[in-house]
Amino acid sequence: MRTTAVLLLALMIGFGSAALPGEAFADGILTERTYKRLARIHELMGENQYDEALTRLDHLVKSVRRNKYEYALVMQTYGYIYAAKEQYRKAAEAFEACLEQEALPEGPTRSTLYTLAQLYMTIGNFQGTVDTLNRWFQMEKEPKAEAFAFLGTAHAQLKQYDKAIENMKIAISRAEKPQETWYQIVLAIYFEQKRYAEAAETLEQMIRLWPDKKQYWTQLAGVYFNLKRDMRSLSVMELAYRKGYLTTEKELLNLANLYQLLHLPYKAGKIMEEGIRRGIIEPTTRNWQRLSDAWFAARELKPSLVALRKAAELSDDGELYLRAAQISAEGEDWPAVIEDLRLAEEKDALKDPGLLYLLKGTAYYELKKYNDALQAFADARKYDSSAKNAEQWINYVNSELAMLQ
């Protein structure tokens, strides 16, 4: 444990490897007494005895105030202890005091600056992070990609978006394997600024790097949609669907809605039908109705009716059965019209009952059940919305009956 502490202390004061106490104070840089006391404090730190280390450091600091170098080392040690105890503001203050002495060699000064920048970020002092990192960059000959990403993150927190993107792009270009979070920060900024074209380019890069992240596929489709590049949006969604990335009801319905928007109702119907079959899309009244609408738009009347009747079963009123009767009438399936209207009457709560009776009368007329037709038209005549048409039908049916006699 003592060897570890001596090594750490040697690194702090700028030696490349462990040094004997005599070497540390040979040139009057650090007295033997201070070196030994610091070494013991670092042993305690290595044993996680931070409170005892602080107590000893409090005694030591009183005797080193006149020696800028020793005082800088002591304040640096305070910083490390407070950081280990998660007292980050005190740690930052200690490192500030350390750097104010301008006594450390260049290497330890650089590392202390970087540590201070990290502490500023932790406590939310983002301007302090930027300023401290800029000082560090002036001293660092070969800054790594992570440092540029760090600076970019601080600029982003300050809403200095152009500088944030600039530094993030430098980080991405320098890194052998850029971190996903770097791209996410750039993407978030583009979204914040509504720069959707750049967001699309960034998402394309992210998909190439992380093709299994489905959120990037759906985000890219959404961006293309905002850019009114509907076919590109659809292509992305279709590819995501084939790869099995669309696994929620919302995602499948979004794809179906896009098909509908682009006048591809048959494909919309297939997507929704498969989603319901697999249990991804909940078989609610609304979803069955959506499926029915897709099939109807595709002129697939039979599956449209099947879905519509499923919706009608779950509905609280008879409107959907009435709609089913109207579709059946388009196909001249008059027995089905009568049955759908019967179910609609059972549900009740119709907006326009007169329409139901008009349609019922028409169906009975087509089935040559004239008495039933006349009764239905008589019922329709009771409602203002259908009275005129009902009267015309009654006259017409009566004239037909007169001709048959």
pLDDT at 402: 86
Q: What is the pLDDT of residue 16?
A: 32
Q: Quote the pLDDT of residue 348.
A: 75
In-domain check, residue 199: no
86 in a structural domain: yes
Give the C-alpha distances (Å, rounded to integers) separating 67 from 29, 61, 272: 9, 10, 78
Residue 27's pLDDT is 42
Report yes or no: 189 and 167 within 8 Å, Cβ to Cβ: no
Cα gap 101→95, rounded to integer Å:
10
The CATH number of the domain holding residue 37 is: 1.25.40.10
* Domain contains 350: no
Q: How many domains are contained in the chain?
A: 1
- CA 300 distance to own-chain centroid: 37
Query: Which amino acid would we find at residue 261?
Result: L
Measured CA to CA, the distance from residue 40 to residue 2 in angstroms comes to 8
Mean pLDDT (10-residue bins), the chain, 405 residues? 39 34 49 92 94 95 92 95 95 97 93 96 98 97 96 98 98 96 98 97 98 96 97 97 96 97 98 97 97 97 96 94 95 96 89 95 96 96 94 94 82
Which domain, by its residues, includes 107? Answer: 1-141
Domain annotation covers residue 348: no
pLDDT at 349 (0 to 100): 79
pTM of the model: 0.79
Whether residue 317 is contained in a domain is answered as no
Q: Is residue 392 part of a domain?
A: no
390 domain-assigned = no
Contacts made by residues 31-34, CB under 8 angstroms, sequence distance 24+ = 31/67, 31/70, 34/60, 34/63, 34/64, 34/67, 34/70, 34/73
Name 136's Cβ contacts closer than 8 Å, sequence gap at least 6: 110, 113, 114, 117, 143, 147
Say if 229 falls within a structural domain: no
